[in-house]
Each structure stands twice: as C-alpha cells, then as structure tokens.
Structure 1
C-alpha cells in the first residue's frame, strides 16, 4: 500500500524537482526525505529524484550537482538497516549513471520533523510520504479525560464521536502541521519545492468511512476481546490514536494561514486497502512443501496495519494479546471486503517556498 502511495505521487514529485531546478541550479543540492522508515520503499523516492536530476542535467548539458541527501525518521527507526543497503545502492548509481559516492552524500538524520532538523536554507527539495497523518502526540484534551473518557469504546474518530473530540483532533493537527511548515521554511532555500503525501479525506465529515474505518474495525476487535475478559474495557477507553486524516480544505487552510509556502498542486487519490493487488497475489507457496495456500485479503491487510501500529498498541495493551488481536482484526476486514471495496484517500500536495521579502 505504501509503495502504491509513492507511485501515484511520482509525476508530481518529478514536476516539483524540475520546477525547483529551473528556478535555481546550485552546485550542491540539499534533498530531504522525512519519515523515511527502513523497509524496501526507503530508497525508492530518492532513486526517482536522482533520476530526474540526472535527466535534467543531461538535457541541459550541465554537470551533475553534488547531491546531499538526508534520510529522516524518529530516533527509534532502524537506520542501520538503511546504511547496510547503501553500498549496493551506490554500486547501482555508479553502473547506471556513473555517479560515484563522491557525488552523492547520503546521511541519516534522527529526530521529529515537528521541529528543526537542518541548517537554515540548506534544502532545495523536501519529500514526505505516509507520515504527516501521524500527530506529535494524542490531543491533550483526550489524555486528560481518563476518569471520564470522551471517546469511550473507540480509539479514533467514529460516527458517534462527540464534537469536542473532533475539535481536539483538528486543533492538534493544525498545531503540528503549522510547526512542520514553519520549520521547513527556515531550512529551505527560497523557491525550494516540497511534495507531501499523507492519509486524508475529500469529505468534509471527519467521521467518514474513507478516513476512519480502519480504526473502527480495530476498535471492534479490541472490544470483542474486552467482552470476553481478555482485556479491560478501561484500557480501550484510555487509548486514542495519535493520528488525523485531514480534509483537503483543512490542509489548504493550514498552509495559507502559516504563510511560508504557495500551493502548486493538491490532489486526492483513492488507494485500495490492499494496494489494488490482484487476488491471485494472495496465493503463497509453503517453503517446506510444494503445496500452495490462500491468505485471505483481510489477513494480508491486517499484517500491513500491524507493521505500522503494533508498537504503540503493545505499549498500551501488552504484547501477549497482539497475535489474537490482529487475527480478529483480519477477520473483520475480510467481512468488510465482502461488503464493499475499501479505499483510503491519499492527499498529495506540492508546495513552493515563498521568497524572502
């Protein structure tokens, strides 16, 4: 699913890189990927950016500028896994584009992007995918209501969510996103470009299925375990996801209010929960036998979500229930697949930093 999200934004990323280089072609280009993670998709966008810069310089007959590439994520990210993959990455760059390690400098930058990470005016292009829907924290109002939970039986926004909970989530998103934009504006060169993609919605209703159903089904799985006495219901009441899927209008409003960037493009893409993979992809071979077995789509999607949210759930509910929780979650998702074609909304926004006055 994350690879699909990156792929739908490719043309917008390439357009933004080209526009940035047309306005400013320095000898050394600063590029940052924020929320890079450490899986097979980590170097995917960086490869595409390098390809675009290489193509533009070839077209213009100009020498390739030095590429200063910064990969950012939280300190707990597995940067070692990224670094281990770099020799092969450099080898491929050398073979395909004759770009040696002396022309492409890749570093890891641990830290929250809700704050400064880089020196002033050191970046020319910034990218972030599948990260900005994560808030810096649970809205404080929800955290302080432990004795009288405002979001009882839920872990995110739902159809029955009270207005005060909706307001708390939106306020936290606005604070975080504004700080993100302000921090990047100080770090980016004038006319630098930024492409951000994150989960959102086209509906004005924050409780619409396209932005909430993944969490609603996870809450149902938790509540089924509470009914059987496997976990305490109070534990569910006291957990709220540090997540918000904003509307396109909310994103536009936040950018205009902060004032450092001009919106070049803002598009919404529908993304199937399973990434649009053919059903045949669910047939797997047992490595120990010649037999093949079918993995239900719900279980595959459950694994995708588990990879993202298990660590925060484990801290709150304990490791011992994780296998059972995600098994139940997969079954609920399977039932949901039978009723509809589940989709999420991926918002992609391309921004240009306004020049200094």
Structure 2
C-alpha cells in the first residue's frame, strides 16, 4: 500500500470529518503556543527579514489549519509595531498529501485574511498563501527558501507500512503481543523516514531558520508502551470481535497494520544528531486527554457522569474515525465501518471509565546550522 495515495483525514464538514473532530490537535497547538512564539520572535529579531516564508507540513483542513500561520503573523506584526519596522511580505505554504481537502482550505482564505486584518490592523495584501500537495518524505520546496517550518501531529505517520510485519497476528500496530521483529521493523522505518525528512528540510530551510515539530509520541523507552499503543489496541479488539463474528476474515486483519510510529524524545534526538544539519534548541513532552472535553466534564455533577463518559468515548471514537477511516475503508471495505466504530465506542466507554487516558506529545525546536 502506498500511504501517500491513501492517507488523509476525512474531508468535508460532516459528522465524521476531521474538521469537526480535531479538538485534541487544537489543544496540542495551544500547549505548544508559547514555544512557537519564542522561536518566531528569535527568528525575526535575528535578521529582520523583508520577506518571510512559512511552511506548515501536514496542514490537513479545518479550523486548525491556519492557526499557526495566524499566530506567526500576529507575533511578527506586534514586533514590527514595537520596533517601528515595515511589515514583511509573507509567503505561506500549506502542505499535505494529495488526498487532503485543499478545496475546503481555499474556500476559507478570504475570511481568514479579513479576520487577520481586523486583529492585526495590517493590510494582508502582502500575504500570499499556496497549497503544496506532496509527501514531506521528499523534496517539496526550492533550496534555501523557507524561514520557518511547522508540523504538528503529522510526522508520526510513516511513508509506508514497515516491511516484514506479517506475523503481527491479531494486532494492527505495535502491541504487547507483537513479535520483536515487528517492533524493530517499525523503529527502522521511523529512522529511515525521519532521517530523510531532516535531509530534505536541511536543503530547503535557510541558515538560522527554525523548525518546530510535534509528534504523537511516548515518554517510555518501550516501543509498545500503553502511552502510544493503547488507543490502537482497543481498535484491534473491536476488529478481532468482528473476525469471531465472521464479518471480517482473519487473514484480512492479519495483513492490516497502521503506518505510524510514536517516538520517544531520545529517539527524536538521536536522529537529529545523526543527520547533523540542525541544532536542538528545545526538546520536551506534554500530555493531553484522549477526550479533549474532559476539563468541562470534570465539572459535571455525579448525576451527569454516566452521560459524560458516553459523550467522551463518542468524542474519542469520532476523532479516531476522522483519522483512520480512509485506511480502514481501503483495506476492509466501507461496509464494516459503522459496526466497527460502534464496537470501538463501547470498548472506549468501558476503558475510559476505569483508567486515565492521555496522549503524549513530543515537541522539538530546531535551528538550521550554518
């Protein structure tokens, strides 16, 4: 399976769309906002460029797509006012795989510029926004053309399903019961992909340019840690139940594996140091609840807790459906999807009522070396 031809978030604005089910990703962007503002300020004040090129890799579509771009421009415009500088020209590149819903993004651009003009009191006639379809595991921009690269919750997706994982029986990702060769294959694919990503960006980012990358990751050194694998293990339970029922063939399940790797900070650091083109300015982890609405649910009274748990599981299920449905449809067909996610939601209700469930995020800030 060529992941670049299949992988994309659910498009449109329907109930199962990514646009309506990306609150977790929005919370992660909020958690890392101060880190980005610090890097943007440092970047601008190091050279005061007349033109700035910004790339968001794995931009997807929906309310989060232009958040970082808006934030970048606001920070620079504030600095320009404080320093009595003219506003620079902004060249914005929104990158994702060809299956991404770019049309939804393009339809939102006029309103985006109007809103940004109102918030910054700056004309946006020197803000040029382009869509750039293609895999970031290859060259997508000219040499030394970018000042700032951002990617959040995209780089854990691999360029392909690792080879030699056909014996990952009953699993769809790394799991406690995965053979050691499966864990090794996933790690090797991550190393290969992330090293290639860094090599490509090293040619595209100017000297002193910044990159901020946030992965869905893990704190543990164990590749099959619950911190990163549990969400997929629960989906595998639903799929195995459907095998027992006869809805899915066993060989279909045994040949399906998620093309993702959730690295630890040390694994990210190792690849950056090995490639050698970037200096690590900052490397850290953060956490966000599976159910992004938990902070509101925590305020619910006891009589509402059962309903809140059901709502929370539904929110998590919809988030995972928006992310994984295209891959599942390609492999199993569309007819099993509704039943699968109904089962998945029931499993989530049970597990989320008994355990604290969180995603771990690994964020690294990099500066392009001379």
Q: TM-score range by the shorter chain?
A: over 0.9
| Map of 1:113 onto structure 2 | 136
1:157 alignment partner in structure 2: 174
What is the match of residue 297 of structure 2?
Answer: 279
Structure 2 unaligned regions, length at least 5:
1-23, 301-306
Q: Once the two structures are superposed, what CA deviation does each residue of 1:243-262 show, in whole Å capped at 9, x if it has no partner? A: 00011111000000011101
What does residue 337 of structure 2 align with? 322
Verify the 8 A CA contact 1:300 1:330 in the aligned structure 2. Answer: no
Matches within 5 A, 1:328-347: 328-347=343-362
1:136-191 per-position Cα deviation (integer Å, ceiling 9, x unaligned): 0001222xxxxxx3100000011111111111000000110011111111011101
Do 1:298 and 1:330's aligned partners in 2 also have CA atoms closer than 8 Å?
yes
How far residue 15 of structure 1 moved from its aligned partner, in angstroms, is 0.8
- Which residue number corresponds to residue 154 of structure 2? 131
Q: CA deviation at 1:22?
A: 2.1
Length-normalised TM-score, structure 1? 0.92
Counterparts in 2 of 1:55-204, with a 5 A limit? 55-142=78-165, 149-204=166-221
Q: Which moved more, 1:6-15 or 1:95-104?
A: 95-104
* Aligned-partner Cα distance in 2 for 1:297–1:93: 33
Residue matched to 1:146 = none
Cα root mean square deviation, aligned: 1.5
Q: CA deviation at 1:27?
A: 0.8
TM-score normalised by L of structure 2: 0.89
Residues 62-91 of structure 1 deviation map (CA, whole Å, 9 limit, x = unaligned): 111101011111111111111110111111
2: distance between equivalents of 1:281 and 1:166? 40
CA drift of 1:98 comes to: 3.2
Gaps of 5+ in 1: 143-148, 283-292
- Count of residues paired in the alignment: 340
Deviations along 1:108-163, one digit per CA (max 9) or x if unpaired, are: 11100111111111110000011000000001222xxxxxx310000001111111
